[in-house]
Amino acid sequence: MGSSNRHIAIIGAGMAGLSCATRLAEAGLATSIYDKGRGPGGRMAARRAEVDGQTVSFDHGTQAFFATHDSFRATVDTWNSAGFVAPWQAAGEGAWVGTPGMNAPLRAMAEPLGVQWGNRVEAITSHDGVWMVANGTGEAQFSDVAIAIPAEQAAVLCAEAAPQLADLAKAVQSDPSWTVMASFAEALPIDGDFHASDDANKAIRRASRNSAKPGRSGFENWVIQASASLSQSILELDADEAAKQVLAVFFAQNGVAPVDPIHLVAHRWRYAFPLVNGPLAKGRQAIWDDAARIGICGDYCVSPDVEGAWLSGRALAEQIILAG
């Protein structure tokens, strides 16, 4: 099939989907990109809130990211020059954050690509070598499909049309994360703006003074992520109750007397951190089925972070380009 006859559907416009789409656009291939979210973010989301008459923003997914591979580092350098990211030393040497919110690089990537936001893909089917992609309002035809959504959701979407990919995605399990966004009228007596622990016995995995990141202002804003085990143990609590419990644990873990927040909201990420294992961990950064002309990518194919997602999307794009 000549490249002029190809039209590739990309499902999911998080870092993996947008990385894939950007590379395909560079190669001159036509894409249509669907995302169920209202705007750029995925797990790099930033959420706005009105607090005491002021608009504040919280990075309630990714806190900071690193660029260790040359190709990703070169991309991050261009974002830095354009003002979409800035270094945030508090999270470690070489840490980056989006500016003014974590989703800024995604917004910049999405803008020239024309993402169809608010468009949840409900089903994909294949008829005589043509892919049909259906959302709530209609169907469209494509030559190829790239699926860039979390593994558990990819497994469901592919189950009928691409069971070989669904089986691979099904082997991945993700840890959940209850994440709390809290504002305080006064600075909390806690040293340091970023606290991280990968000790499974610690109930708080990450806590960031969001208001101390570059380009942010406003109240003393914190984003507090419960560990996988705490999140699992309170997974089905309602959000208000989860917020109170996680905040109480945060104060206790830091030896600080509890302070009443002026804003408190929790978000439950059911599929926050994929455990990268199983058949996908065999050095393949993305999986492409050349005969069926469909592939999957995402952080779960490489590493459970922003760089892993970017590398995976890029790797899938290279395979789609090669498929000719």
Chain centre distance of CA 238: 23
145-170 burial string, b = 16+ CB within 10 Å, else e? bbbbbbbbbbbebbeebbeebbebbb
Site string for ligand FAD, 194-233 (x = CB under 6 A): -------------------------------x--------
Of 8, 9, 10, 16, the one binding ligand FAD by CB under 6 A = 16
Among residue numbers 251 through 280, which ones bind ligand FAD (CB under 6 A)?
269, 272
Alpha helices in the chain (DSSP H): 15-26, 70-82, 104-110, 151-158, 163-170, 228-233, 239-254, 306-323
The span from the CA of 109 to the CA of 115, in Å, is 10
We find the least distance from the C-beta atom of residue 54 to ligand FAD, in angstroms, to be: 24
Q: Is 105 in the site for ligand FAD (CB under 6 A)?
A: no
Among residue numbers 30 through 59, which ones bind ligand FAD (CB under 6 A)?
34-37, 42-44
Residue with tokens 């209202």: 38
Q: Is 178 in the site for ligand FAD (CB under 6 A)?
A: no
Q: Which residue is nearest to ligand FAD (CB)?
A: 14
Residue 77 vs 128, nearer CB to ligand FAD: 77
Of 103, 179, 227, 319, the one binding ligand FAD by CB under 6 A = 179
DSSP assignment of 170-212: HT-EEEEEEEEEEEESS--S--SSEEE---TT-SEEEEEEGGG
We find the least distance from the C-beta atom of residue 12 to ligand FAD, in angstroms, to be: 3
Q: Rounded to 5 degrees, what are φ and ψ at 142?
A: -145, 160
We find the least distance from the C-beta atom of residue 257 to ligand FAD, in angstroms, to be: 26
151-158 and 163-170 helices cross at what angle (nearest 10)?
150
15-26 and 306-323 helices cross at what angle (nearest 10)?
40
We find the least distance from the C-beta atom of residue 10 to ligand FAD, in angstroms, to be: 9
Q: Determine the length of the chain.
A: 324
Q: Is 176 in the site for ligand FAD (CB under 6 A)?
A: no
Of 58, 65, 84, 184, the one binding ligand FAD by CB under 6 A = 65
We find the least distance from the C-beta atom of residue 185 to ligand FAD, in angstroms, to be: 25
The backbone region for 127, taken as left when phi is positive above 0, alpha when psi lies in -120 to 50, beta otherwise, is beta
Q: Is 246 in the site for ligand FAD (CB under 6 A)?
A: no
Of 56, 247, 249, 309, the one binding ligand FAD by CB under 6 A = 309
Q: Is 296 in the site for ligand FAD (CB under 6 A)?
A: no
Of 21, 296, 299, 315, the one binding ligand FAD by CB under 6 A = 299
The span from the CA of 145 to the CA of 128, in Å, is 15
| Binding site residues, ligand FAD, CB under 6 A | 11-17, 34-37, 42-44, 61-65, 120-121, 148-150, 153, 157, 177, 179, 225, 269, 272, 298-299, 304-306, 308-309
